Structure 1
């Protein structure tokens, strides 16, 4: 799989993922319902795509945020 995400995009995804994890585990803001689980799922997907450097939705849409990939 070729990369389609730049370093800024990957960094932003990691920051958002950490914020979602803090909101889920560190506060009672999300409770224990659907928002809690949704935050965990989105954070997991963001972490995975940031580490791999490939976003499947970008591939479907034909987007690339990396300069020369």
Structure 2
């Protein structure tokens, strides 16, 4: 797996993932669909791995290229 998630993209994924998880864990109990917040695990995992399978499918790469 070649890294395809860049620095700013990683930070954004972590922030969004944590916000979704916070909603799932601490959101109002009256909302019956707060389980959707657990989708926040995916952006956190892709940020930590530095690789996004969806980016691979569509050919996107936000990781800066390294010059040799």
The higher relative CO (CA closer than 8 Å, separation ≥ 6) is in 1
Q: What count of residue pairs does the alignment treat as equivalent?
A: 66
Conserved? CA contact 2:17–2:44, under 8 Å? yes
Sort the Cα spacing of 1:64 and 1:16 in 2 relative to 1 into closer, same or farther, 3 A.
same
Structure 1 segments of 4+ aligned residues over 6 angstroms from their partners = none
State the TM-score, normalized to the length of structure 1.
0.83
Tell me whether 1:15 sits opposite 2:2 in the alignment: no
Instruction: Please tell me the root mean square deviation across aligned C-alpha atoms, in Å.
Output: 1.7
Sort the Cα spacing of 1:24 and 1:30 in 2 relative to 1 into closer, same or farther, 3 A.
farther
Instruction: Give 1:38 shift.
Output: 2.0
State the TM-score, normalized to the length of structure 2.
0.84
Bigger Rg, which one: 2
